Chains A and B, each alone.
Chain A
Amino acid sequence: MNVRAVLCFVIIICAGTGGEIAVSRAMKEIGEVHDFSPRNLVRVIQRAFRVGWMWFGVGLMALGFFSLLMLLAFENVSFVVPVTALSYAVGAFGGKYLLGERVTAARWMGVLLVCLGVMLVCIG
């Protein structure tokens, strides 16, 4: 793996996870969605974009997206996508410490298995 690929992966993982945590925080601020009608979905998205965290999160996710696009130009999808799952460890810690979620032992074990599986997919 060359330096360019490593750089792309670092941006995808860090910006992607940071963006998802920020978006998650924004969605929790607007509260649970009960009405799934198109009109209400548009209203929910409009409300979501009035939250600063949403803009921050979408900005970070866009950065991750452009890095993904670049990486896919010279690496296989079945290699790129599993490696990005390294964000699981970052995500679980982020959920626990930034969003105050209670990550149970079973959930940690699941996250660990997912990471292990992703590593196997990667070396395979």
Chain B
Amino acid sequence: MSGPARTHVKTWVLLVLMVTFGPLGDIFLGKGMRQLGGSPELRPAQLVHFFVRAFESPLVWLGIASLLAFFIAYLLVLSFADYSYVQPASSFAYAVVALLGYFVLGEVVTPIRWLGILVISLGVFLVSRTPPRTTERA
């Protein structure tokens, strides 16, 4: 496989990992934090107590583990691809979050929101047609 083709494959494998683990992490965190119920007072003692309770939730830790997997894939892809390419390309994760919110959490997803997901996907497609790297190698 040629250099640019290999870079494209590598980029897409890492992007797939990002759009899988990122949304999964958000869903786990969302479910875990909603179980705490309500927002804390913005005072140091209450905030500390709130975050201590948050870190007692297994769902929050599952979310953190997923986001860590996302972060490693993200770091690796940023070692060779442009930030301004990776960021929009990984935005497909927003569609995945809506899908998971709908199917897993039972959240209401209106037709306008689905249209938004379609527009996001179009934007992602457009960004993916541009070269991943526009700067010289370090």
Contact = CB atoms under 8 A, between A and B. Distances in A.
Q: How would you classify the secondary structure of chain B's contact residues: helix, strand, loop or mixed? A: helix
B88 A81 contact: no
Given A33-B79, A70-B40, A117 B84 contact: no
Interface string A98-111: 01111110110111
B130 to A, nearest CB: 5
Contact of A117 (B34, B37, B38, B123): B123
A32 B39 CA distance: 42
A102 to B, nearest CB: 4
Give the interface centre of A74, A77, A106 by most chain B CB atoms within 10 Å.
A77
Given A32-B137, A100-B135, A113-B119, A81 B84 contact: no
B138 A29 contact: yes
Give the contact-size bracket for chain A.
35 or more
Interface string A57-74: 000000001101110111
Q: 10 closest pairs, A vs B, by CB?
A: A120-B116, A124-B113, A113-B123, A117-B119, A124-B112, A95-B84, A117-B120, A77-B30, A121-B116, A110-B127
B87 A110 contact: no
A120 B51 contact: no
A6 interface: no
A59 B100 CA distance: 29
Given A96-B84, A99-B84, A120-B113, 12 more contacts: A33-B79, A44-B76, A44-B79, A68-B29, A78-B97, A78-B102, A81-B23, A88-B91, A107-B84, A110-B125, A117-B118, A117-B120
